[in-house]
Amino acid sequence: MFKIPKYKHPDFNKELFLAAPDVKIKRVIKDGVAPNNYHVTSMYPEYFKVNGRWILATESRMDCVPVIIDDETIEMKEFRNLKVGDQVIIGRTEDGSEGIYLHVNGFMEEEKEGDVFAFRTGRSRETAFTKDYEELVELLKYEKENGYIVWVLGPAVSFDYSSRKSMADLINEGYAHAILAGNAVATHDIEGALFGTALGQDIYNQDSKPNGHYHHLDAINKAREMGSLQRLVENGDVKNGIVHACIKNDVPMVLAGSIRDDGPLPNVYSDVYDAQEAMRSHAKRATTVICLATQLHTIATGNVTPSYTVVDGEVRPVYIYAVDVSEFVLNKLRDRGTLQGKTIVANIQDFLGKLRDRLID
């Protein structure tokens, strides 16, 4: 059974913290531009001393500028959202000396004694994933009832009959609270519902269908005609799949547009920063994030997802999983500072089938 690890705040009675000054601030004098020496956040818990009290920033995200709203509240703002007059915290230390403290090790883990040398310290196709799968299954059972599970989907989810069905089953059974994806995922999924194909190729037996390259365009055109994915599903043509499951279960989908889109579908964000806001609104609530086979959306989601969140006043970790057959994509994610993330090298078809079978009878 999964148990939330305990979080331990720093001991603010230590001299270090008592002696620390309040943070300094500067006001924004041009919209969207931070004052000199602005501070930026990481994905870890960060505390700021304001009026003599250390305040934890909630709803954080990395590479944002901390803005003091009031004595209790610090908001993490993207540069583009800074407004004239905003009180930006200044300083580039994280050790308390400027009233800023980064708390990397709040979640106590048993210390492991290091060896002088160990083979195979990275995670690759040759890493043993047995326990990771077991833990993820337990985690998802817990999160279904107690958390907020965000899935980040690449197009490949819709390219195979079983993976598409597994994902829909997981949504239908309550294992998804939000879906972040692009125009392509939803387009291929609707094509799957309407024609049984993805980009003209049968998602069960791989047959290329005559004039199959029209399928995804016909799917888009039909959705545009309906005016919304909601109406497309209610109209009865789309009877299965991921979009269908989301709409039937009121699971929100954020569909971000991209320069490679045809169409696009209705409901797709054409403005990427609006899309990012929408993604962040789910990332703020997320307790577990699972990213499948998409470099762009995985990194984008990693950027807006902190390593911790506050639920009912308690700080708890946010778990991030990234699954891909490419170690390069996964290593890149880890290199971006998304260190809390666990990476699994797998074809997501297998990954989704395995999760589905272990979570649903």
Looking at residues 89 to 108 of the shown chain, list those that interact with a second copy (rule: CB under 8 A): 92, 94, 102
User: Which of the stretches 16-24, 233-241, 289-297, 312-320 binds a second copy when contact is defined by CB under 8 A?
Assistant: 289-297
| CA 282/CA 212 separation, integer angstroms | 36
**Strand, coil or helix: 290:** strand
User: Which of the stretches 3-11, 13-21, 236-244, 346-354 binds a second copy when contact is defined by CB under 8 A?
Assistant: 346-354
For a second copy, the binding residue among 211, 236, 250, 313 (CB under 8 A) is 211
- The DSSP secondary-structure symbol of 210 reads T
Q: Is 349 in the site for a second copy (CB under 8 A)?
A: yes
Q: Is 70 in the site for a second copy (CB under 8 A)?
A: no
User: Which of the stretches 12-20, 167-175, 234-242, 339-347 binds a second copy when contact is defined by CB under 8 A?
Assistant: 339-347
Q: Is 87 in the site for a second copy (CB under 8 A)?
A: no
36, HSE (Cβ side, Cα atoms, 13 Å): 0
- The DSSP secondary-structure symbol of 177 reads S
C-beta of 147 vs 289, nearer to a second copy: 289
C-beta of 140 vs 255, nearer to a second copy: 255
Looking at residues 158 to 197 of the shown chain, list those that interact with a second copy (rule: CB under 8 A): 159-162
User: Which of the stretches 6-14, 50-58, 305-313, 327-335 binds a second copy when contact is defined by CB under 8 A?
Assistant: 327-335
**Strand, coil or helix: 173:** coil
For a second copy, the binding residue among 105, 146, 221, 235 (CB under 8 A) is 221
Cα 73 to chain centroid, rounded: 24
The answer to whether the CB of 44 falls within 8 A of the CB of 107 is no
User: Which of the stretches 50-58, 170-178, 201-209, 231-239 binds a second copy when contact is defined by CB under 8 A?
Assistant: 201-209
**Closest distance between a second copy and the C-beta of residue 311, in Å?**
26
Q: How many residues bind a second copy (CB under 8 A)?
A: 102
Cα 116 to chain centroid, rounded: 35
* Structure token digits, residue 265: 């579908």
Nearest Cα to Cα of residue 143 among 111, 176, 172, 169: 176
For a second copy, the binding residue among 303, 305, 309, 340 (CB under 8 A) is 303
Cα 121 to chain centroid, rounded: 25
Q: Is 289 in the site for a second copy (CB under 8 A)?
A: no
**Closest distance between a second copy and the C-beta of residue 52, in Å?**
26
The answer to whether the CB of 261 falls within 8 A of the CB of 183 is yes
* Structure token digits, residue 24: 């300094």
The helix or strand, by DSSP H or E, that contains position 32, with its residue range, turns out to be none
Q: In which residue are the tokens 């049968």 written?
A: 202
Q: Is 360 in the site for a second copy (CB under 8 A)?
A: no
Q: Is 283 in the site for a second copy (CB under 8 A)?
A: no
Nearest Cα to Cα of residue 243 among 200, 191, 197: 191
